[in-house]
Structure 1
Amino acid sequence: MAPAGGGRPDYDGAREEQDMTAGLVLIAAFIGLWAGLRGPPFAGFALGAAIGYLLASVIRLRRRVDALEERRPLPSTVESRAPAATPAPVATAPAPAARPRVLEPAQPGPLARLLLRIHRWFTTGNVPVKVGVILTLLGVAFLLRYAVERELIVFPIELRLLLVAAGAMLLLVTGWRLRGRMRVYALSLQGGGLGILYLTIFAALRLYQLVPASLAFVLLVALTLGSGMLAVLQDARGLAVLGAVGGFLAPVLVSTGTGNHVVLLSWYLVLNALIVGVAWYRPWRELNLIGFVSTFVIGGLWLWRNYEPGLFATTEPFVILFFLLYQASAILYAWRRPTAQGGVVDGTLVFATPVLVFATQARLLGTAEFGLAFSALAAAAFYVATAGWLRRFGPPALRLLTEAYIALAVAFATLALPLALDARWTAASWALEGAALTWIGLRQGRALARAAGALLVIAAGCALMRHGWRWDQGPPVLNGNLLGGLLVAVSGFIAARFLERASGRWAGIERWAARGMVAWSVAWWVGAVSLEIVDRLPSRHQPAALVLAWAASGLALAAIAGRSNWSAARAAALASVPLLVLAFGAQNLGGLHPFAGFGWLAWPAAIALQLVMLRGQESACPRLTALAHPIVVALGAVVLMAEVAWQVEQPVPGAVWSGAAASLVPGLLVLGLFWLKDHRAWPVAAFPEAYPVWTGLILLALQGWLVARLNLGTDGDPEPLGYLPLANPVDLASLFALLCGWHWLRASVGVRRSGCVILGGIAFVVSTVALLRATHHLGGVPWRAGPLFASVLVQAALSIWWSALAFTGMVAGTRLLRRWLWLAGAALMAVVVAKLFLVDLGNTGTVARIVSFVGVGGLLLVVGYLAPAPPRPQGNPDV
């Protein structure tokens, strides 16, 4: 009995489906027949029947899918337990009963099923009545077509529109009554009815001018309110969207071109208030976006085309109310979301609304003084108050929205200051919004939002760059030029920090992008500060201000990097070192001495700030810091050398005294480094290799360069004093340089053969040039290469001096058992002997030739007696 009892509902369901299909086919067929009265007789009938059959098929398939989903768990449970519960003999018994149910969905094709249902419809039930209804409908349709064609019955357009409206109302009523049994079908009917009513009202107004604009607007308002009520009662998002779109388009559809903006904005205010009311019950984001886009697009077009300053009083209240309504929508959207999604913020309403409202304010206020500044302060106050209220009364799920409001409050409070002094708010607001968008992308794990935020910051910088620097505009420091650039830089730093902290599949790319963003921000910071200094200060004080500003910026960035453990910012802080080098170069090319203006304060303070910055970076990035220390010390030495040279040159013109005095600076610094090393003081103790070795070598190179310029580039005239050998500025500076080099060699790398050979060679060259300079001043030989080489006095002096040096080297090599030193002296003596025969021998009949030959010969005799060659080394390379 069970099968029989269970088959009755299936039979009733099949009968219901057949009746529904046939009914829809017939209704749609006759609608198509009536619509095509002026066309071929059966074209509209066939088209309508096909549409009705397709609609019925969709509904039937939907119901079957729902039924299969409800039954699906039962067969899976039976099949999973049957093999394990009983052996094969027990399982074979129910198999024949199960197979028909599995194979039951296999049915004839669509055409065969359609013919079968038509056959059943015409062969079951009250067949005469069904056939009579069809024939009657066909006859009436033919009669109506005949009457229309021969103008026996004229359907006025008013009647046609009323019939269409009545059909739409019939669809609405039918859909409402079927909402419990066939939800999708019912909502489709209601949506179609609403759409037909919208189009009917539009046609009555615009196409046929049958109703006035005021009545059409009232009808559209009523239709919009009805759509909203139906949507909320049935939880139908599609009806709500349809009603909202129709409501926002209603003023556009009924507009005659002479409308009142107060009516337009009032209607949009009502619609947005209704959307907020719907948001209290249903968190439908689509409605919020439709209201947002429609209001700002249509309202923005009116603002752009028709707004005049005289309309401010009737427009500004609506802008404020729209702003408040959209913030309420954003709060309700986050509040009414499920707990699992409560942390999601509607970024469009939260971040785009203040930007568009601020742009609207700019259009409304025009050139009003401090108008945008007060608007920014008001927005900041609103966000602070709202964030405080949400933090106190809101659920924990609103914490992200609260933080977003705090970020916006800070952004607008920061923006208020430049707006009070300059109207450049666009780029700054874009940059701040980009930073906020990057932050929200990090909090929500959205890489696209982070990328959009970073690009927005870059776009803000490009917009500000395109706008250009307005020279001498606004008060110093507190002007749109400087503060706009600094806001772009700060926004870039914030976005870079958030990109560096991101995780996910794009984390590697975002870290590289963060480094690029840091470089971008450093460039904006340096550029804005530099241009402000050049714009506001006299040229004499500009280098000092630039130096101090760049050094202070590097220290500030290093401090921020240290507190936040930000590696990219640490590296960027070290960019202040090459910037200071460029500043000195520019100052030198400009003909200014380093301490010009306030340079006496700026340069020492800058070097001190750089050392403080490097001390804070030691543990975090030791390699870069070890590289930067020698550069900073060398820069300080060069600055001091240039200043000492300039100061000495003022009372004593010429390069001799100034160059000699300047060469003392790096030498004294080298001695100071080794004093710090002996006392284990910072910074030498922290970098025992970078300072004594490399920094000392750089300083010696600077000292050697100055001494070389003195020896080769000047004649060493110590005017206004007289010349004394060895007791003149050039010789004293050369001796001091050699002593510093010997101290560095002994204290840093140790006394080795290679170092001694290099230093000895330098001493040989320096002493030779000193001898040439003495012959110039005391012997009257011109200070030029040709006369010096041709002078007999010079050649004799060189022979005697080189022989004395060779004699000293050979004797010292013998006494110290340094064979290499004795060989060096012997080689120099051989050079002297060769020179005697090749050069001096040509100066016949001169006392100088006699002195040179006798002197060199006598020294050789003494060498032979006092300094015989030492024995060969037995393993020590330095012997």
Structure 2
Amino acid sequence: MDGLVLIACTVLFILLVVIPVMSILAYRRSNAARDELSRLRQRVDLLEQQLSRRALSEAPVAQEAVSPVDSPEVIVPEVISPEVSVPEPQAEPEPRPVTPEPIPVNVWARGTPAAVISARDSVPVPEREGPAPVSQSGGMVTSLVRWFMQGNPLAKLGIILLFLGLAFLFRYSVERSLFPLELRLVVAALGAMALLFLGWRLRHKQPVFALILQGGATGALYLTVFGAFRLWQMLPMSLSFALLLLICAASVGLAVLQRALSLAMLASLGGYAAPLLLSSGGGSHVTLFSFYLLLSVGILAISVWQHWRELNLLGMFFTFGVGSLWGIADYRPQYYLSCQLFLIANLLIFGVLSVALSLRAQKKGQRIVDGVLLFAPPLVGFGMQYAITYHLTYGPALSALGYGAFYMLLAWGALKRFPGAGKPLVLAALALGGAFTTLAIPLALSARWTAMAWALEGLGVLWLGVMQGQHRMSYSGTGLLVLALGSALWAMTDGTTALSVMVIFAVLSASWLVAARLWRRLPAPGSLVLLAGGITFWLVALWGASDWMFNKGIPAGVLGLLALSVWGWRYMARRLHWRALHYAVWLLWPVMLAVLLWQLTIEQQLLGAGWQNLAWCAALPSAYLLLYRERRVPARLAQGLHISLLWMVLLAAGTELFWFVDALPWGMDAWRSGLMMAAGGIVVLLINAGIHRGVWPLRVWPEWYGSLGLLPVAFPLIVLLVLANVQDGRVIHMLYLPLVNPLEEGAAFALLAVWSWWRFCHLRFPPAAQRAAPLVLAGLSFWWLNGLLLRALANYGQVDWDSESLWHSRLIQTSFALFWMLGALVVMLLATRRGTRQGWFCGAALLGVVIVKLMLVDSAGGGGLARAIAFIGVAVLVLIVGYFSPLPPKEAKAFSEEEKS
């Protein structure tokens, strides 16, 4: 009883709500179209009257001599209708381009006055309204939405909802067994036939509404026949397919006769949705796909007379979409043959025949290939093909090869059938064929062989593209080279051996280098990227070769092999006149630095590395020989190469020296500091001597070698002079001698080297640094002389070398006071003699420090001979200073200016 009440409510809702609403909407749309047509007619009549009046009123004026600047006044009559107005010419904005209406012959006849013509140009003419042409571009979703929004979208929505409601109502009645099954099927069929008949009768009065009714009726017939066959087995398979074929043929005929896309779309939508709405989750897939194949054939038959892109997209979407969903859930290997046949059939229908009919339906001179129909079926279809063949040996690879061969044959056939106009289809088919053939390689081979095969194939495609001037083909070949790199990286993650790494990346490097050479003929800037990739892959290949040959010491092996490789690059660059490749030889420098840092930090050995040092025997001579032979290197690059090579040599020698002195036994601190300072000083002195004598390579950039090149040595020497001065200078089992022990001799070399370095490069310093540098050097020398005096007093005065003992020693305090006072005296006298106020003030400052020291330090411990001697000595020295230099001298520059004034 509840079921009958529900059915009655549904019928009442359709009769009282759905049908009245649809009728009101149709009536309002008809009235709106009729009112719009009436307004357009009134406007056309008004414009014709205006033009006639202007022609009559301004004809005499046009025959007089009128200035070209003045324009005749146009009187615009008042418009009766409020919806139609003609603006005055003076205030009229720029009219947009419109298509003028046909003009009567008596108005625009030959001899029409110029005033009339100007009036005609100033009057806006309405555009013709008409249906917008359906664009052939856009995606699947865009096309379907555009189709739905054109015409009568509310009617389309209503018929779809009505179809769904009836389907659910039908299913509800089946589940509740409200009516006999035969009666339900007969009523559904009769209702669909009545709906179809009504739509056919209304095809002239309400064409859009009539087409929607016909589409809904066609879908209902599909639903009825399929339900009778699938759910209740009331019809045999042969009769069911015959009826479905009849319905499909009838829908095709109706759609083609009326040129109705909406009918075809709705009929196809109902047919595709019928098995989905009535399916109970079981049944044979052969039945489902045979039914879908029948619908696809119907769509293809429609395309013979009338090609509708949206219809083909709808069929492709349902066919491949439902097939994919079924395959994910229910596919079994025993279904292979049937699924393979259905897949081939749909691929031919949507990917080949639909594209061919699309080209056939286009206007003469147009050959626009539908990209969605051409590319979507094979790509989606190959995904299904892979799913049904992955369990077979080489199944996916053979499938990809078959796809590639098929599209190659398709390209050949299109080229023979349409030698000129079919070029887009030929190129697209060639691209698909090449892509699937390329895809067969990784499906059949491992990632290692795939990388090499793709690299060689990409190089061949790129070469053909460059030779034939086909830029797209060249880009495709380059894309294959990139894919080859991806396959190689994938192979690296799979435990690849060193030999495989060497072979793979050697092939990649050669392919990318040749490709970089070919890209020099193309307008796009891609040669440098390919060249950089080829050089990088060669380094990886050298790494694999070193690992394969040596098993350890891989960085040194890479360096040695690279030192030999750069000469091959140099030869090819000179032979091919390839300047970019010539710059690759300087890659030896960063590799040398990387290997050097590896040996110094990770292995912590350089001279003790054994056979690995043979790499340096090849790398260093190669580097210096390249610097000697290459004379056309840019200045900045040449300077960087020279200085960086010097720095690497200094880094290696300095680290080796540090390891050597660090290994000295206890009690050899003086030797440690002295050797390092002496070595640094000797290096600076030797380089300065080589610069003055013009020794190569120092004579190439002498100012850079003497200043910036020695900076890594000069700065550590200054640090060592500051820090090593706090050492006692004693060497175990050796007598301390103030001037001939290792610490003092090393400091002498260091001070001499710093002074020599400053003399060479002081002119390149800023003015402030030039003024401060002599003070720094003087202060450094004074600091070291204090250390020398302290060590001598401590050793010969038997004072322990600790801060407390040294501080409380009267001998040391008095000696320092006298030494500082003597230093202040010498500085002030020299300043007075040379006329430098700055030096005099420095000496005075030191004198003040000595006096403060006497007051606070020397007098703190009470009386004593040492204190008296300190005070007397300082007093005598102060008197001497006061006699020779009582006041700061005037600057020499200031004195000369006063004389000039």
Q: TM-score, normalised by structure 1?
A: 0.57
Contact 1:534–1:542 under 8 Å retained in 2: yes
Q: In the alignment, which residue of structure 1 is the partner of 2:670?
A: 656
Judged with a 3 Å threshold, the aligned counterparts in structure 2 of structure 1 residues 207 and 380 are, in CA distance, closer, same or farther, namely same
Q: In the alignment, which residue of structure 2 is the partner of 1:172?
A: 252
Query: What secondary structure does 2:300 align onto?
Result: helix
Q: In the alignment, which residue of structure 2 is the partner of 1:737?
A: 750
Q: In the alignment, which residue of structure 1 is the partner of 2:373?
A: 287
Q: Which amino acid aligns with 2:681?
A: G
Deviation per CA, 1:572-610, whole angstroms, max 9, x where unpaired? 9999899789868845xx8x3555536867789889999
The separation in 2 between residues aligned to 1:532 and 1:296, in whole angstroms, is 37
The separation in 1 between residues aligned to 2:551 and 2:617, in whole angstroms, is 20
Q: Does 1:401 align with 2:482?
A: no
Contact 2:729–2:743 under 8 Å retained in 1: yes
Q: In the alignment, which residue of structure 2 is the partner of 1:137?
A: none
Q: How much has 1:538 moved relative to structure 2?
A: 12
Contact 2:252–2:302 under 8 Å retained in 1: no
Q: Does 1:75 align with 2:147?
A: no
Contact 2:670–2:730 under 8 Å retained in 1: yes
Q: Which amino acid aligns with 1:400?
A: H
Q: In the alignment, which residue of structure 2 is the partner of 1:758?
A: 776
Contact 1:799–1:836 under 8 Å retained in 2: yes
The separation in 1 between residues aligned to 2:816 and 2:485, in whole angstroms, is 76
The separation in 1 between residues aligned to 2:128 and 2:356, in whole angstroms, is 48
Query: What secondary structure does 1:723 align onto?
Result: coil
Q: Does 1:317 align with 2:329?
A: no
Q: Does 1:476 align with 2:507?
A: no
Q: In the alignment, which residue of structure 2 is the partner of 1:268?
A: 343
Query: What secondary structure does 1:780 align onto?
Result: coil
Q: How much has 1:782 moved relative to structure 2?
A: 0.7
Judged with a 3 Å threshold, the aligned counterparts in structure 2 of structure 1 residues 583 and 388 are, in CA distance, closer, same or farther, namely closer
Q: How much has 1:780 moved relative to structure 2?
A: 1.7
Query: What secondary structure does 1:260 align onto?
Result: helix
Contact 2:299–2:315 under 8 Å retained in 1: yes
The separation in 1 between residues aligned to 2:255 and 2:872, in whole angstroms, is 134
Q: How much has 1:660 moved relative to structure 2?
A: 1.8
The separation in 2 between residues aligned to 1:384 and 1:755, in whole angstroms, is 62
Contact 1:645–1:661 under 8 Å retained in 2: no
Q: How much has 1:770 moved relative to structure 2?
A: 0.9
| Identity, % of aligned positions | 20
The separation in 2 between residues aligned to 1:103 and 1:730, in whole angstroms, is 103
Q: How much has 1:778 moved relative to structure 2?
A: 2.4
Contact 1:810–1:867 under 8 Å retained in 2: yes
Q: Which amino acid aligns with 1:700?
A: A
Query: What secondary structure does 1:75 align onto?
Result: coil
Judged with a 3 Å threshold, the aligned counterparts in structure 2 of structure 1 residues 408 and 639 are, in CA distance, closer, same or farther, namely same
Judged with a 3 Å threshold, the aligned counterparts in structure 2 of structure 1 residues 287 and 214 are, in CA distance, closer, same or farther, namely same
Q: Which amino acid aligns with 1:730?
A: L
Q: In the alignment, which residue of structure 2 is the partner of 1:123?
A: none
The separation in 1 between residues aligned to 2:538 and 2:723, in whole angstroms, is 36
Query: What secondary structure does 1:272 align onto?
Result: helix
Q: Does 1:795 align with 2:807?
A: no
Q: How much has 1:725 moved relative to structure 2?
A: 0.8
Contact 2:543–2:558 under 8 Å retained in 1: no
How many matched pairs? 686
Query: What secondary structure does 1:286 align onto?
Result: helix
Q: In the alignment, which residue of structure 1 is the partner of 2:803?
A: 785
Deviation per CA, 1:133-182, whole angstroms, max 9, x where unpaired? xxxxxxxxxxxxxxxxxxxxxx9964998766534422212444x3xxx6
Contact 1:717–1:723 under 8 Å retained in 2: yes
Contact 1:220–1:250 under 8 Å retained in 2: no
Judged with a 3 Å threshold, the aligned counterparts in structure 2 of structure 1 residues 322 and 102 are, in CA distance, closer, same or farther, namely closer
Q: How much has 1:797 moved relative to structure 2?
A: 2.9
Q: How much has 1:254 moved relative to structure 2?
A: 9.3
The separation in 2 between residues aligned to 1:870 and 1:839, in whole angstroms, is 28
Q: Which amino acid aligns with 1:597?
A: A
Judged with a 3 Å threshold, the aligned counterparts in structure 2 of structure 1 residues 253 and 662 are, in CA distance, closer, same or farther, namely closer
The separation in 2 between residues aligned to 1:711 and 1:540, in whole angstroms, is 44
Q: How much has 1:781 moved relative to structure 2?
A: 0.9
Query: What secondary structure does 1:875 align onto?
Result: helix
Contact 2:397–2:440 under 8 Å retained in 1: no
* Aligned counterparts, 1:589-608, within 5 A: 592=604, 595=607, 597=609
Query: What secondary structure does 1:725 align onto?
Result: coil
Pick the aligned partner of 1:644 from 657, 660, 666.
657
Deviation per CA, 1:551-581, whole angstroms, max 9, x where unpaired? 9999999999x98989xx9999999899789
Judged with a 3 Å threshold, the aligned counterparts in structure 2 of structure 1 residues 776 and 874 are, in CA distance, closer, same or farther, namely closer
Q: Which amino acid aligns with 2:303?
A: A
The separation in 1 between residues aligned to 2:281 and 2:451, in whole angstroms, is 47
Contact 1:804–1:859 under 8 Å retained in 2: yes
The separation in 1 between residues aligned to 2:128 and 2:354, in whole angstroms, is 46
Q: How much has 1:694 moved relative to structure 2?
A: 5.1
The separation in 2 between residues aligned to 1:321 and 1:77, in whole angstroms, is 63
Q: How much has 1:719 moved relative to structure 2?
A: 3.7
Q: Which amino acid aligns with 2:775?
A: V
Judged with a 3 Å threshold, the aligned counterparts in structure 2 of structure 1 residues 91 and 414 are, in CA distance, closer, same or farther, namely closer
* Aligned counterparts, 1:331-730, within 5 A: 361=443, 371-377=446-452, 399-411=470-482, 414=485, 424=494, 473-476=495-498, 478-479=500-501, 586=601, 592=604, 595=607, 597=609, 637-650=650-663, 654-671=668-685, 674-675=688-689, 678=692, 692-693=706-707, 696-697=710-711, 699-712=713-726, 714-730=727-743
Q: In the alignment, which residue of structure 2 is the partner of 1:228?
A: 300
Query: What secondary structure does 2:729 align onto?
Result: coil
Q: Which amino acid aligns with 1:782?
A: D
Q: In the alignment, which residue of structure 1 is the partner of 2:766?
A: none
Q: In the alignment, which residue of structure 2 is the partner of 1:437?
A: none
The separation in 1 between residues aligned to 2:661 and 2:126, in whole angstroms, is 110
Q: How much has 1:784 moved relative to structure 2?
A: 1.0
The separation in 2 between residues aligned to 1:532 and 1:300, in whole angstroms, is 35
Judged with a 3 Å threshold, the aligned counterparts in structure 2 of structure 1 residues 764 and 213 are, in CA distance, closer, same or farther, namely closer
Q: In the alignment, which residue of structure 2 is the partner of 1:460?
A: none
Q: How much has 1:740 moved relative to structure 2?
A: 2.2
Deviation per CA, 1:185-231, whole angstroms, max 9, x where unpaired? 2x55455555566567889998997xx86577556546545543553
Judged with a 3 Å threshold, the aligned counterparts in structure 2 of structure 1 residues 196 and 165 are, in CA distance, closer, same or farther, namely farther
Q: How much has 1:320 moved relative to structure 2?
A: 2.4
The separation in 1 between residues aligned to 2:656 and 2:705, in whole angstroms, is 23
Q: How much has 1:403 moved relative to structure 2?
A: 1.2
Q: Which amino acid aligns with 2:789?
A: L
Query: What secondary structure does 1:166 align onto?
Result: helix
Gaps of 5+ in 1: 1-34, 111-154, 425-472, 504-513
Deviation per CA, 1:24-47, whole angstroms, max 9, x where unpaired? xxxxxxxxxxx99x9579789968
CA-atom RMSD, angstroms?
A: 7.0
Judged with a 3 Å threshold, the aligned counterparts in structure 2 of structure 1 residues 678 and 280 are, in CA distance, closer, same or farther, namely farther
Q: How much has 1:705 moved relative to structure 2?
A: 1.2
* Aligned counterparts, 1:846-857, within 5 A: none
Judged with a 3 Å threshold, the aligned counterparts in structure 2 of structure 1 residues 803 and 341 are, in CA distance, closer, same or farther, namely farther
Q: Which amino acid aligns with 1:718?
A: V
Q: Does 1:237 align with 2:313?
A: no
